[in-house]
A and B are shown apart, each in its own frame.
Chain A
Amino acid sequence: KAGVTQTPRYLIKTRGQQVTLSCSPISGHRSVSWYQQTPGQGLQFLFEYFSETQRNKGNFPGRFSGRQFSNSRSEMNVSTLELGDSALYLCASSFRSGRAGPDNEQFFGPGTRLTVL
């Protein structure tokens, strides 16, 4: 079974630009979560989508947005990029979204490393 895939793997942008990252979950998984990882802040939750609906949202500004398509693939968009947005963006998928059980185990993709100049 193929794992979570993310594209692109590396991205260099300048301040003020916008960027769209893509995530394809493991086949059959319907929940996709996005995280930002930086050396100083660790792994920070951005948002979670399940069946095309945003289920949870982290404490990030409105410049960060996402969506999920009917095939469970997800995209996240960052508008008006700032230097502080430079990070590794990780996507994780799970079978479902809920409170407990193995179906909630999240599996991560390789990440997209975004550098903002």
Chain B
Amino acid sequence: QKEVEQNSGPLSVPEGAIASLNCTYSDRGSQSFFWYRQYSGKSPELIMSIYSNGDKEDGRFTAQLNKASQYVSLLIRDSQPSDSATYLCAVSGGYSSASKIIFGSGTRLSIRP
């Protein structure tokens, strides 16, 4: 079992709709959860971090964390073509990884006009 799992996609969403990206993790002791956006040929950019159960909103982005289910998600409202990118879920603070950040393989999101 991979430590951080994401559906590789591509996930195709019409412009203006809500894009929902999901991630599961295996280390129950994980404490920090991050979402990065990576455009083709560029480096990852941190867009959201979440540390406690529930929702965290920042503009059009909402991160949701459910530690009991070991599940974290990212919702993008009013999707724009500029949101087309690969989204990386990352987790740290687990019993086995401590300070190391473990990345998922990413979900490729495509926003169609």
Q: Which one of B9-17, B62-70, B76-84, B96-104 contacts A?
A: B96-104
Q: How far, in whole Å, are A109 and B31 apart by their CA atoms in the complex? A: 24
| Nearest residue, chain A, Cβ from B93 | A99
**Secondary structure class of chain B's binding surface, majority of residues:** loop
Q: How many B residues face the partner with a CB closer than 8 A?
A: 24
Query: Which residues, 4 to 58 on B, are CB-close (under 8 Å) to A?
Result: 31-32, 34, 36, 42-46, 49, 51
Contact between B46 and A90 (Cβ–Cβ < 8 Å)? no
B49 touches A105 (CB 8 A): yes
Which residues on A sit within 8 Å (CB–CB) of B99? 31, 48, 50, 55-56, 97-99, 104
Partner of A106, one of B51, B98, B101, B105: B101
Residues on the B chain within 8 Å of A72, using CB: none
How many Å from the CB of B27 to the closest CB on chain A?
A: 11
Q: Number of contact residues on A: which range applies?
A: 20 to 34
| Most central of B32, B45, B49, B105 by chain A CB within 10 Å | B32
User: Smallest distance from the beta carbon of B19 to chain A beta carbons, Å?
Assistant: 20
- Decide if A117 is an interface residue (CB 8 Å cutoff): no
Most A-side CB within 10 Å, residue of B31, B42, B92, B101: B101
What is the interface of chain A, defined by CB distance below 8 A to chain B?
31, 33, 35, 42-43, 45, 48, 50, 55-56, 88, 90, 92, 97-102, 104-111
Chain B interface residues toward A at CB < 8 A: 31-32, 34, 36, 42-46, 49, 51, 88, 92-93, 97-106
A42-B105, A90-B43 given; 11 more Cβ-contact pairs under 8 Å: A33-B101, A43-B88, A50-B99, A98-B99, A99-B93, A100-B32, A100-B51, A101-B32, A104-B32, A104-B93, A104-B99
